[in-house]
Structures are given as structure tokens and as C-alpha cells.
């Protein structure tokens, strides 16, 4: 059985771990995520392994596709998810 992280656990994660966990929570493969944000699969893998960091533009795209708040994804600060009364931003592809 997999443990489910509570929001407090997300705050101590590295950016690599935040990207990886958010991608898995959305049930996306690296290939699909890469296609949705317009980068290579290897770029996604490098981000998830902490070898490189995404640009601000790619972080913005990641936040939209993964439906998480930009500040949390970029820094680990703030809330991961959007408040229930605010719709998640959508990206058209």
C-alpha cells in the first residue's frame, strides 16, 4: 500500500520531487508531460532527477499542466493545490 502525502509533507520536498510527485498524481508519463509542455522526455527526466531545473517559462507550463500553484512548484512555499473556490488554470494544446 502506498502512503499518501499530506500537504505538509509536500513543503519539504525538492523541486525534483515536487515535479515527480505531481506528475504521478496526475497519472502522466514523462512522454505525455513532455508533449504537453513542449519539451523532450529527457528534459522531464533531468528535472525529476534533480540534474537540471526547468526555466521559469517551463515551470509555469508545468504548474498549469500539473494543476498546482506556481509558487509551490518553484519554491515549495505556499499551498500545493488551488483553493476549492478557484478553478485550476487550463492550457490549450
The CATH number assigned to the domain holding 70 equals 1.10.260.40
Residue 54 located in a structural domain: yes
Residue 22 located in a structural domain: no
Residue 8 located in a structural domain: no
Q: What are phi and psi of 38, to 5 degrees?
A: 80, 35
Residue 61 located in a structural domain: yes
Structural domain count of the chain:
1
Answer yes or no: are the C-beta atoms of 69 and 60 closer than 8 Å: no
Tell me the CB-side half-sphere exposure of residue 59, using CA atoms within 13 A: 16
Residue 17 located in a structural domain: no
Grid coordinates representing 39 are 519539451
Residue 47 located in a structural domain: yes
Residues 6+ apart with CB under 8 A from 16: 47, 48, 49, 50
* Per-residue confidence in pLDDT tens, the chain, 93 aa: 344 444 445 557 899 999 999 999 999 999 999 999 999 999 999 999 999 999 999 999 999 999 999 999 999 998 888 777 656 666 665
Look up the domain containing 43 and give its range: 28-78
Residues 6+ apart with CB under 8 A from 41: 30, 31, 34
Residue 5 located in a structural domain: no
Residue 87 located in a structural domain: no
pLDDT for position 5? 46
Amino acid at each position: 500500500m502506498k502512503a499518501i502525502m499530506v500537504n505538509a509533507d509536500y513543503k519539504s520536498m525538492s523541486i525534483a520531487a515536487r515535479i515527480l510527485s505531481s506528475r504521478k498524481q496526475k497519472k502522466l508519463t514523462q512522454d505525455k508531460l513532455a508533449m504537453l509542455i513542449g519539451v523532450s522526455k529527457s528534459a522531464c527526466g533531468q528535472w525529476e532527477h534533480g540534474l537540471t531545473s526547468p526555466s521559469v517559462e517551463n515551470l509555469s507550463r508545468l504548474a498549469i499542466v500539473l494543476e498546482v500553484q506556481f509558487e509551490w512548484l518553484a519554491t515549495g512555499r505556499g499551498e500545493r493545490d488551488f483553493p476549492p473556490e478557484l478553478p485550476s488554470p487550463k492550457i490549450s494544446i
